[in-house]
Structure 1
Amino acid sequence: PSEKKAISYANPAWSPDGTRLAFESNLEGQRSIYTIRTDGTELRRLTDTTYEDGQPDWSP
């Protein structure tokens, strides 16, 4: 049987204009930074490195 890995979501950070949320997740296997619109659309993976990325933050 295949082993299922739990998906985690952590360290949410609101965009300065309040329209997007950045967060870290292991959604695609390795911890990366993602953003999503507050209505749940436009999920985007921002990082794709061999390192585990975390603790997203916005700059103005």
Structure 2
Amino acid sequence: MVGGCYWDNGNPDVIPLRSCVWIEGYGYAVAGDTGGAINGKRIDLFVPDKEQALSFGRKQVKVKFLD
């Protein structure tokens, strides 16, 4: 869906800041900030426009930490 390495919001207790991860159905991302409403095992992904955000939706995904 989205290529490259984008910033996402996450819980630093689950995904430490500046961690590189691969997200199922999304691609590569870097944890860029924590976001005030992000609690537990949740992430808020950057997508370039509303259409892609609605298409991706809200779902459970697998996240793989990269070295």
- What TM-score do the two structures reach when normalised by structure 1? 0.24
Question: Does 1 or 2 have the higher relative contact order (CA < 8 Å, sep 6+)?
Answer: 2
Which structure shows the bigger proportion of residues in helix conformation?
A: 2
Structure whose CA Rg is larger? 1
